[in-house]
Amino acid sequence: MQYTKLGETGINISKICVGCMSFGKPGTMHDWTLDEERTDAVVAHALDLGITFFDTANGYSAGTSEEYPGKGA
């Protein structure tokens, strides 16, 4: 995996990002979102691959898109 600095923070992040719009409680935004267990599996696999950059927003699935990946952190 290739990494880069996050701005001027000195923090290294992966150059590949996982978009998290599909994470969250199904039915709160879309019926196709991944529940907590499936989100955990995707996040774990990404971390195993060295991906450390996850893009999410509190507007996705009423905030559960941020909550699910954050529980495993």
Active site residues: 60
Pairing of strands 17-19, 53-55: parallel
From 30, 21, 6, 22, select the one nearest 57 (Cα to Cα).
21
